[in-house]
Amino acid sequence: MTKLSLGAHPYMLGFEQLERLLERSAKSGNEGYPPFNIEQTSANSYRITLAVAGFGEDDLSVAVEDRQLVIRGRQSDDTEERIFLHRGIAARQFQRSFVLADGVEVGTAVMENGLLHVDLTRAEPETVVQTIRIEKGSKS
């Protein structure tokens, strides 16, 4: 049995870009750090929350790149001045990427108690009905 891809399915026309987005998302290298939640806050809005304890606002960046929400964290290295007897809190950099559907816009990003909240909204799509005129073919 042949496995059909989304872009090759006979009833799914023009979805090749969606298939590429899914492949890119799977290969984005997102590990388990930092942990995050995604919640639906209303019918057309979402909130992504990342646990970024130890990071300050200046250590984080939030950007939209090629229809992806990209959140990066990089802490400054001040460990040369400090002597650790035990170091259990990782100070590593990270990058988290989330593919955004058409019509999803990034709103605000807020730091609160070691959590970074990023709010997203989705525009309500219009229902469009288009009637196509059928023309008579020419006789040869």
| Preceding omega of 34 cis (within 30 degrees of 0) | yes
pLDDT at 28 over 70: no
Comparison of pLDDT for 19 and 85, the residue scoring more: 85
What backbone phi and psi angles, to 5 degrees, belong to 65? Answer: -130, 115
Mean pLDDT to the nearest integer, 43-56: 94
Domains of the chain: 1-30 (no CATH), 32-122 (2.60.40.790)
Name, in order, each residue with C-beta under 8 angstroms of 45's C-beta and a sequence gap of 6 or more.
Answer: 119, 120, 121, 122
Average pLDDT over residues 102-131: 93
Stated pTM of the model? 0.71
d(CA 88, CA 91): 9
In this predicted structure, the answer to whether residue 78 has a pLDDT above a threshold of 90 is no
Per the model's pLDDT, the better-predicted residue between 116 and 127 turns out to be 116
pLDDT at 114: 93
Per-residue pLDDT at 121:
97
